[in-house]
Amino acid sequence: MIPPIANRFVAGESPATALEHVRTLNDRNINAIVNLLGEHYDSRSPAAADAAEYRTLVADIGDSNLEACISVKPSQIGLDVGEDVFRDLLEEIVAEATDRDVFVWIDMEDHTTTDVTLDAFEAMTTTYDGNVGVCVQANLERTREDVERLADLPGKVRFVKGAYDEPAEIAYKDKAAVNRAYRELLEYAFEHFEDGIAVGSHDPAMIEHAIDLHEEYGTDFELQMLMGVREDAQEELAAEYEMWQYVPYGGRWKSYFYRRVMERKENLFFVLRAILDR
Ligand code: FAD
Residue 242's nearest CA partner among 182, 202, 198 is 198
136-146: average pLDDT: 98
ipTM reported for the complex, 2 dp: 0.98
The number of the ligand 1 atom at minimal distance from the alpha carbon of 105 is 28
* For ligand 1, atom 45: residue with the closest CA: 163
69-90 tens-digit pLDDT? 999 999 999 999 999 999 999 9
Can you point out the beta strands (E) in the chain? 31-36, 68-72, 104-106, 132-137, 156-160, 197-200, 221-226, 242-249
Residue 121's nearest CA partner among 159, 155, 162 is 155
pLDDT at 77: 98
Instruction: Say if pTM beats, i.e. exceeds, 0.80.
Output: yes
50-77: average pLDDT: 98
Three-state SS at 200 = strand
147-162: average pLDDT: 97
Number of C-beta neighbours around residue 14 at 10 A: 12
Q: Is 202 in the pocket of ligand 1 (CB under 6 A)?
A: yes
Give distance in angstroms: CA of 70 to centre of ligand 1. Answer: 19
229-239 tens-digit pLDDT? 999 999 999 99
Q: What is the CATH number of the domain that holds 261?
A: 3.20.20.220
91-119: average pLDDT: 98
The range of the structural domain enclosing residue 32 comes to: 4-276
pLDDT at 196 over 70: yes
pLDDT at 252: 87
pLDDT at 5: 74
pLDDT at 270 over 90: no
Residue 24 binned pLDDT confidence (cut-offs 50, 70, 90): very high
115-138: average pLDDT: 98
Number of C-beta neighbours around residue 38 at 10 A: 21
Which residues are marked as active site?
107, 158
Number of C-beta neighbours around residue 44 at 10 A: 16
Specify the number of domains making up the chain: 1
pLDDT at 277 over 80: no
Q: Please state, rounded to an integer, the average pLDDT across all residues of the chain.
A: 95
pLDDT at 126: 98
**129 torsion bin: left (phi>0), alpha (psi -120 to 50), beta (else):** left
Q: Is residue 91 within 8 Å of residue 104, measured between CB atoms?
A: no
The secondary structure of residue 140, as a DSSP letter, is B
The number of the ligand 1 atom at minimal distance from the alpha carbon of 162 is 43
Q: What percentage of the chain has pLDDT greater than the value 90?
A: 87
Candidates 202, 237, 269: which one to mutate for ligand 1, based on the most atoms within 8 Å of Cβ?
Answer: 202
pLDDT at 104: 98
> How far apart are the C-alpha atoms of 155 and 125, rounded to whole Å?
6
Q: Which residue did the predictor score with more confidence, 253 or 28?
A: 28
Residue 75's nearest CA partner among 38, 118, 49 is 38
